[in-house]
A and B are shown apart, each in its own frame.
Chain A
Amino acid sequence: MEAVKVENLVKKYGNFVAVNGISFRVEEGMIYGLIGPNGAGKSTTLRIIATLLKPTSGRVSVFGYDVVGEADKVRRIISYLPEEAGAYKHLTGYEYLELMAKIYAGDGYREYVERGVELAGLGGRIYSKIGEYSKGMLRRLLLARALMTLPKLAILDEPTSGMDVVYATEIRRMIKRINGEGVTILLSSHNMLEVEYLCDEIGIISNGRLIAEGSPQELKERYGGENLEEVFTNLVRGV
């Protein structure tokens, strides 16, 4: 089944066209990566899929639900991690996970919290106030929040943004593990090696347009290059 279907998506802010006729599909159970330079339209596309923004034209559906007309249904099955996300700094990590779990599960929230605590891997610091966390700890907590409910679709905008190698590696493992439990992942990243490691399929966006799509292997074969970084560079330069 199609987890995400994006058709001729356009998003304008006044005269500025942020997304210009993008179409792609994400199959259920897949990890799909959107890559592209800054300002290419990746985050805007993810925000539309996450029901935060409305498209100027075009259609987006998540597991068959329209993101505009059926936003409430979409929100029940997705989980979104923004690139620059924060958390309530006067709550403890545990209280934060508990609150989010209650929103999704009501009385049966404990299972989510247990999974969240385990995914976050913060040990005893889970009971510290979030304001005392390092950037890496916060990002792990936020990712745990996004994944603990085992959503049908997790939308992760730059999940390892600004993190050191150790934290980034742990987060990539976490994403792989949760995907193994049946969660479809749609992510964006600047890190080509990360995308190559994680994603089954990749869409490359430049200037609001999808300029290439395929598996990492297909893209390397089609556009030439030892790795995705070379593919990306060749594509952006118009080779």
Chain B
Amino acid sequence: MNLLWELVKKEIKETFRNPRYIVFTVLFPLIIFPAIGYLYNLGFQTAQERIATLTVYVVDLDQDEVSQKFIQYLQDRNITVELVDPSQIDGLDYVVLFILPENLTESYLSGERGSIEIKVRIGSVSFSSMGVLDIGNRLVAGFEAYLRREAMIEAGLDADFLNDIFSTDVYVRVEDWGMELPSQQLASLFIQIFIMPWVVFGLVVSILQVSAAMLSEEKEYKTLETLLTLPIDRKILALEKIMGSMIVAFAATAAYAAGFLIYVAMLGFGTRFTVTGGEGLDIIEESLSISLRPEVLLLLTLLFFLTVLITGGIGLLVSLFTQDTKTAEGVAATVSMPIMMIILLGALIDLSLLPDYARMVYFSIPYVYLMKSFEYLVIGRYEMYVVGIIVNIVWLVIVMVVLAKMFESERILTMKISFKLGLKRRLLS
């Protein structure tokens, strides 16, 4: 154990003293996610400020009751309105411009649909400019609701009731979960369930890359031959490599998760923004509380640990066929693609529609359980963690046996992958 720890310490020093790893594995996710969040927020804020300080231009060709009411409606909602002449439109620096036609009031009074032309100007196509596109429509929709309400009141009707006759509560039964829950809560869960595959995939890619590089670096920098002649059990060497990659991967995952959480916090995840007809921004908070009992946390941690170990083992297997780091990372990236497909499959398709044998094959894949771990947590199917742990242990044994065999044979030195000629062994001496 002492010897193993000494070797693992070597891996950690070698990795964390390498600026390349620090930049791409730790700093990159810590910088890129908050940066994206900041830019997104900046765009969103800019759009918000633009809406808040918006000056709406109106070409009033109607100059009658409806157009006057529309202008008043806008002013009552603290929107600055400027009336302009049609001849001024070309040189006008507007964001939203309404052209109210001559016969707007006449149409309204005679029960015909009037047509309002809305012109919107954006500087370029971006997130912030997208927020502006629908402002005109929303303001008109708000005005329509205002006119309806006024008409109802004139007719002696209960406008508040008629505008909102039914309240609806939607409940969704999820067969796979054996549960029924409110649609709003499910919508909130959906987002979080869809995020999990990406977190798992990020973890898989980073561990694959790191573990593949760990052995191929030994080959590239000519340290492997010395290592293999040292009085160390080859199984210890294989385990040392996996543990080394695991520790580095934990750091990468922590950085990835921290960066992602900052990103999520910056976007106000779990909070849904809706913009209603000229009334401003309404924020609907949807929070979900999940209790994590110690035994469940233990199972989840074990599942995570085993999945990470398997991935480290696969990364090492990949690196057996390569002689340098770049090739190893390239092959690891290629291997991560089918793993990504497997991980995303569970989020993209309805698994209950698959035939039994396909479901069995799917659930024999180790990554499935970590990917669905959040879902299992929500619905309390903790027995699936146990199943996942068993499946992961079986795969881990297979990977470790293959890896130990490879480490014990001279093929660890001579195997090489060639994209032109296929897999072959080459004489290296």
Contact = CB atoms under 8 A, between A and B. Distances in A.
Contact of A52 (B15, B229, B427): B229
A96 B223 CA distance: 12
A44 interface: yes
A100 B6 CA distance: 10
Interface stretch (B89-97, B169-177, B230-238, B397-405): B230-238
Contacts of B166: none
List the 6 closest A-B pairs by CB distance, nearest first. A86-B222, A90-B17, A86-B221, A80-B229, A76-B231, A13-B427
Nearest to A48: B410
Contacts of A79: 229
B2 interface: yes
Nearest to B427: A13
Contacts of B352: none
Interface string B205-221: 00000000000000001
Nearest to A81: B226
Max chain B Cβ within 10 angstroms of own Cβ: one of A52, A84, A87: A52
B13 A95 contact: yes
Contacts of B229: 50-52, 75, 78-80
Contact of B427 (A16, A84, A87, A90): A16
Nearest to B412: A52
A24 interface: no
A103 interface: yes
Given A53-B410, A90-B18, A104 B231 contact: yes
Nearest to B2: A106
A221 interface: no
B334 interface: no
Given A52-B229, A86-B222, A43 B410 contact: no
A88 B7 CA distance: 12
Interface in B9-33: 10, 13-15, 17-18
Interface residues of B, number: 28
A202 interface: no
Given A44-B429, A102-B6, A80 B223 contact: no
B13 A90 contact: yes
A177 interface: no
A85 B222 CA distance: 5
Given A13-B427, A51-B229, A52-B229, A99 B6 contact: yes
A85 B226 contact: yes
B318 interface: no
A156 to B, nearest CB: 12
Interface residues of A, number: 37
A50 B231 CA distance: 11
A91 B15 CA distance: 10
Interface of A: 13, 16, 18, 43-44, 47, 50-54, 72, 75-76, 78-82, 84-91, 95, 99-100, 102-104, 106, 129, 142, 145
B7 to A, nearest CB: 8
B221 A89 contact: yes
Contact of A86 (B2, B3, B223, B232): B223
Contact of A43 (B14, B17, B226, B429): B429
Contacts of A81: 226
A85 B223 contact: yes
B134 interface: no
25 contacts: A13-B414, A18-B427, A18-B429, A47-B225, A51-B228, A52-B225, A52-B229, A54-B409, A54-B410, A78-B229, A80-B226, A80-B229, A82-B222, A87-B223, A90-B14, A90-B17, A90-B18, A95-B13, A99-B6, A99-B7, A102-B6, A103-B6, A104-B230, A104-B231, A129-B17
Nearest to B6: A102
Nearest to A104: B231
A13 B425 CA distance: 9
Given A18-B427, A103-B3, A106-B2, A88 B223 contact: yes
B413 interface: yes
A91 B217 CA distance: 14
B13, B231, B409, B410: residue with the most chain A Cβ atoms closer than 10 Å = B231
Contacts of A18: 427, 429
Given A52-B410, A95-B13, A102 B3 contact: yes
Given A88-B10, A104-B230, 13 more contacts: A44-B429, A50-B229, A75-B232, A80-B229, A82-B222, A84-B222, A85-B223, A86-B222, A90-B18, A99-B7, A103-B3, A104-B231, A145-B226
